[in-house]
């Protein structure tokens, strides 16, 4: 094995430094509660970026009622899947990318690990852009305009804040969320009431008037923010639930994670859809300034909390993904490098002309790999292994591990699942618009096609592999 369990946090430390890497979290270090997990995911999704989720439905031509139904119903499924993966992390005390070794093999799991590491750095850039745009908009209301210099000063302050928390690790993250999210939620309730009282909501008007156009809009919205939102967080799940105390029940872990994801996502999506239906557009800064005006000033720091809370998870999980693929360095050092790369990514996203379109493109793109990957992992754990894993074997070298170096069943299923997802994906650029999507009036069900193909194929191939292995053992015993 190539991991060494780290020492438990000292009781004398109010917020201990997280010295853990990717090894299983020792029982004495697992002191988080389901309620703390709830606040982690609630805080990560209580962000202005989520307003765009609802606004996107209006942009696609759906009415406000249709948008709300798609977001509310779709997230029931997506958040339930997310809750299931949190339970797996709690049972094993292992981070998500290492858990994937059971399905893909020791070396095979490097592929999803690399993808996860790169995308998390990209998300830091996206989410920081949201905060930066919002901050500059409010400062402009105050008459403070510094051009490019001010933009980079604000960006530096935001990046340093989130990087500092991520460097310190899980215990700082859970403490930050635990004590700041409830206050932020109260402010958000006040802002919601104020927003809804100042706009004229149009519940039924939508630009997609034909059945065909509505179906297209619904499928794109379901993929991007209905089912897709919860699925997009699955690669992060076990990174945090592995710290939950052993005595917590599976049910409590599931509901804490699922509810922590569902409530703020649907809440802010509904708010964004209401504002967009009143003609306020899909850009976060425009939504804030047009609706709240000067009222946005005293709540600016609290509203910035959401994207910062999201980015500390991105940076922390990025470091775990890097360690999982074989990077040999202290977690905090990897986090520091990830922060530097994410800062460079930020520059790219600042130049985006339409935030709503850039966000939609990004979200649809990552679902192409996440849905097939998640399907393979959940089929492997729930069906093939019936919820039982030998954790120690996850850390053995490929030649010594029963999971092998590269699982052909896992990798083939993942590859064909990604292809199936791409075939029914209608992205924002031609290369991301698959043949099925083009043939079926720009519909997008990439999460479903990718997941079904990958999960179904893996079920067949993995069972066949188990049957062949069993037959070989029987013959050898004769």
Q: Domains of the chain: which residue ranges?
A: 30-352
Q: What is the pLDDT of residues 290-332, one digit of tens each?
A: 656 555 565 566 667 877 889 999 999 999 999 999 999 999 9
CA distance 260 to 41: 5
The pLDDT of residue 5 is: 52
Mean pLDDT of 83-98: 96
Residue with tokens 């064909």: 416
CA distance 254 to 250: 6
Structure tokens at 65: 């009622």
Structure tokens at 302: 């609290």
- Of the candidate CATH numbers 1.10.1200.10, 2.60.40.1930, 1.10.4160.10, 1.10.1740.10, the domain formed by 30-352 belongs to 1.10.4160.10
Residues 360 and 217 sit within 8 Å (Cβ to Cβ): no
Query: Looking only at Cα atoms, what is the longest distance across the chain?
Result: 86
For residue 10, the 8-state DSSP code is: P
The pLDDT of residue 59 is: 86
CA distance 172 to 16: 7
**Proportion of the chain above pLDDT 70, given as a percent:** 83
188 in the Ramachandran plot: left (φ > 0), alpha (ψ -120 to 50) or beta? Answer: alpha
Report the range of poorest mean pLDDT among 193-197, 251-255, 264-268, 351-355: 351-355
H or E segment at 105? none
Query: Cβ atoms within 10 A of the Cβ of 40, count?
Result: 29
Mean pLDDT, the chain, integer: 84
CA distance 156 to 188: 25
Residue with tokens 């499924």: 77
CA distance 267 to 269: 6
The pLDDT of residue 363 is: 53
CA distance 410 to 110: 12
Q: What is the pLDDT of residues 212-229, one digit of tens each?
A: 999 999 998 998 888 988
Report the range of poorest mean pLDDT among 146-150, 237-241, 364-368: 364-368
329 in the Ramachandran plot: left (φ > 0), alpha (ψ -120 to 50) or beta? Answer: beta
Residue 433 DSSP SS3: strand
H or E segment at 209? none
Q: What is the DSSP string of 253-314?
A: HHHHHHHHHHHHHHHHHHHHHHHHHTT--S-HHHHHHHHHGGGGTTTHHHHHHHHHHHHHHH
Mean pLDDT of 165-173: 94
Residues 171 and 11 sit within 8 Å (Cβ to Cβ): no
CA distance 153 to 130: 15
Backbone dihedral angles phi then psi of residue 426, each to the nearest 5 degrees: -120, 85
Backbone dihedral angles phi then psi of residue 4, each to the nearest 5 degrees: -130, 120
Query: Cβ atoms within 10 A of the Cβ of 148, count?
Result: 8
Structure tokens at 315: 């940076």
Residues 126 and 365 sit within 8 Å (Cβ to Cβ): no
Return the closest-CA partner of residue 118 out of 344, 308, 443, 421.
Answer: 344
The pLDDT of residue 67 is: 92
Residues 413 and 454 sit within 8 Å (Cβ to Cβ): yes
- Looking at per-residue pLDDT, the higher value among 166 and 59 belongs to 166
Distances (CA, A) of 150 to 133, 143, 146, 155, 350: 11, 13, 5, 8, 13
Residue with tokens 């029982």: 27
Residues 29 and 252 sit within 8 Å (Cβ to Cβ): no
What are 426's strand-pairing partners?
Answer: 433
């Amino acid at each position: 094995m190539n991991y060494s369990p780290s020492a438990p946090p000292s009781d004398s430390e109010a917020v201990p430094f997280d010295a853990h890497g990717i090894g299983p979290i020792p029982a004495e270090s697992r002191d988080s509660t389901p309620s703390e997990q709830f606040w982690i995911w609630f805080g990560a999704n209580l962000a202005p970026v989520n307003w765009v989720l609802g606004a996107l439905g209006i942009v696609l031509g759906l009415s406000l009622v249709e948008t709300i139904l798609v977001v509310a119903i779709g997230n029931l499924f997506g958040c339930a899947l997310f809750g299931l993966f949190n339970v797996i992390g709690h049972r094993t005390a292992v981070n998500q990318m290492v858990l994937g070794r059971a399905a893909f093999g020791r070396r095979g799991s490097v592929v999803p690990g690399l993808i996860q590491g790169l995308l998390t750095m990209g998300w830091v850039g996206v989410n920081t852009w949201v905060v930066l745009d919002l901050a500059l908009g409010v400062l402009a209301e105050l008459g403070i305009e510094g051009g490019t210099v001010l933009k980079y000063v604000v960006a530096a302050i935001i990046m340093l804040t989130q990087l500092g928390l991520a460097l310190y690790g899980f215990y700082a993250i859970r403490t930050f969320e635990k004590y700041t999210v409830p206050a932020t939620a109260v402010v958000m309730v006040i802002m919601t009431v104020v927003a809804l009282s100042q706009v004229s909501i149009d519940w039924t008007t939508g630009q997609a008037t034909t059945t065909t156009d509505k179906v297209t809009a619904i499928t794109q919205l379901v993929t991007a923010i209905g089912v897709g939102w919860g699925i997009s967080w699955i690669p992060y799940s076990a990174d945090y639930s592995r710290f939950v105390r052993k005595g917590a029940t599976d049910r409590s872990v599931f509901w804490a994670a699922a509810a922590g994801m569902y409530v703020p996502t649907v809440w802010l999506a509904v708010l964004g859809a209401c504002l967009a239906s009143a003609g306020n557009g899909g850009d976060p800064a425009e939504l804030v300034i047009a609706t709240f005006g000067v009222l946005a000033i005293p709540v600016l720091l609290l509203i910035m909390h959401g994207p910062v809370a999201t980015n500390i998870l991105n940076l922390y999980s990025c470091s775990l993904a890097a360690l999982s693929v074989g990077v040999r360095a202290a977690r905090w050092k990897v986090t520091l490098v990830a922060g530097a790369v994410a800062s460079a990514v930020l520059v790219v996203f600042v130049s985006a002309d339409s935030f709503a379109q850039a966000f939609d493109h990004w979200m649809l793109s990552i679902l192409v790999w996440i849905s097939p990957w998640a399907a393979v992992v959940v089929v492997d754990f729930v069906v093939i292994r019936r919820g039982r894993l030998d954790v120690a074997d996850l850390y053995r070298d490929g030649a010594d591990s029963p999971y092998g170096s590269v699982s052909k069943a896992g990798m083939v299923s993942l590859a064909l699942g990604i292809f199936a997802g791409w075939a029914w994906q209608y992205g924002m650029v031609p290369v991301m618009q698959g043949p099925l999507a083009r043939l079926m009036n720009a519909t997008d069900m990439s999460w479903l096609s990718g997941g079904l193909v990958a999960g179904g194929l893996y079920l067949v191939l993995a069972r066949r592999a188990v049957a062949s292995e069993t037959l070989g053992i029987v013959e050898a015993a004769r």
